[in-house]
Amino acid sequence: MLVKLEHVTKAYGDFKLDCSLSLKEGHITGLVGQNGAGKSTTFKAILGLLTPDSGSAWVFGKDSRKLTDEDRVKIGTVLSDSGFGGHLNIREAASIMDASYESFNKEGFLYQCREHNLPANKKIKEFSTGMKAKLKVLLAVSHEAALLILDEPTAGLDVVAREEILDMLRGYMEQEGRGILISSHISSDLEGLCDDIYMIQGGKIVLHEDTDVILSNYGLLKLEDRQYDTLDKDHILCVKKEGFGYSALTNERQYYQENYPSLIVERCGIDQVETMLIGGKRK
Ligand SMILES: Nc1ncnc2c1ncn2[C@@H]1O[C@H](COP(=O)(O)OP(=O)(O)OP(=O)(O)O)[C@@H](O)[C@H]1O
């Protein structure tokens, strides 16, 4: 197991994180949640950047607060406030990385920067949002890390830049034993990338599911009042009142398609599941 959190709690005023999750070798695991749901706080707990009030956080099988410099070298991160000082250019940043990480592949890194159209001699502060985001990911993957912790690496990017970053991450996973924990607001990024997804709301994990299972088994039922009244609700996860009647989220789409052929049963993705879990009433 690359990462394991067991009821890690942290209170900030009214907000309380209580998070359990794990990331296996060979997996890309996504963390989805609205603004303020607790994604960055979770990542900080994993990286030992905050002291939990209770619970335990393990990275590479060790207490995350006891990670050595050697362990930390094996973690690549993209955090919202991370990055090099803007006065540097890529060539200077590469020299710093070279001096800091024995496993840093300077030539490979500079080659990747050229491939992704990042100018070597321009100051990083003059880069566009997309260029900065690409650089952060290239830096995170540049030192042979076994684990990537990526907080919103595609935030603010257009579709082409996002796809470029997702491709970098797929390339990173070609080597065995690696793993990525990634957060994003853009559910389509996670759908096409992650093996499994955790949804966090108000500091709590409200769903953990394999991405394939969400896409193949989950569904959204559109029900008039009388259809809702007579529906078998055993496989309904949550319900939302609508103008036309009810929307209901199920993790057994086929059951309702087969047993209620007259019902409207739509496939759903992570976005719809999240919207229902946040706005709907739990069964
Ligand atoms: N150092 C801190 N001091 C006080 N409150 C904090 C601190 N860090 C986070 N919080 C609070 O904890 C809650 C969760 O914040 P967090 O940054 O983890 O959310 P997030 O899911 O990453 O949100 P976003 O998508 O907006 O980045 C918020 O209410 C935030 O105000």
pLDDT reported for residue 273? 94
Share of the chain above pLDDT 90, in %: 82
Complex ipTM, two decimals?
Answer: 0.96
Q: If pLDDT is split at 50, 70 and 90, which confidence band does 81 have?
A: low
CA of 276 to the centre of ligand 1 (A): 23
What residue segments make up the domains of the chain, in order of their start?
Answer: 3-211, 218-282
- For 172-227, write each residue's pLDDT tens digit: 999 999 999 999 878 888 999 999 999 999 999 999 999 999 999 999 999 999 99
CATH, range 3-211: 3.40.50.300
* Cβ partners under 8 Å of residue 34, min gap 6: 185, 201, 274, 278
What is residue 283's predicted lDDT score, i.e. its pLDDT? 73
Give me ligand 1 centre to Cα 31, in Å.
14
- Ligand 1 center to residue 17 CA distance, Å? 10
Residues with CB under 6 A from ligand 1: 12, 15, 33, 35-41
Residue nearest atom 13 of ligand 1, based on CA coordinates:
36
Q: Choose one of 5, 9, 10, 15 to mutate for the ligand 1 pocket test, by most ligand atoms within 8 angstroms of C-beta.
A: 15
Distance of alpha carbon 268 from alpha carbon 123, whole angstroms: 43
Q: For the whole model, what pTM was predicted? A: 0.93
- Helix H segments across the chain? 39-46, 69-73, 90-100, 106-115, 129-140, 159-172, 187-191, 211-217, 225-230, 253-259, 270-279
Q: Compute φ and ψ for 93, nearest 5 degrees.
A: -60, -40
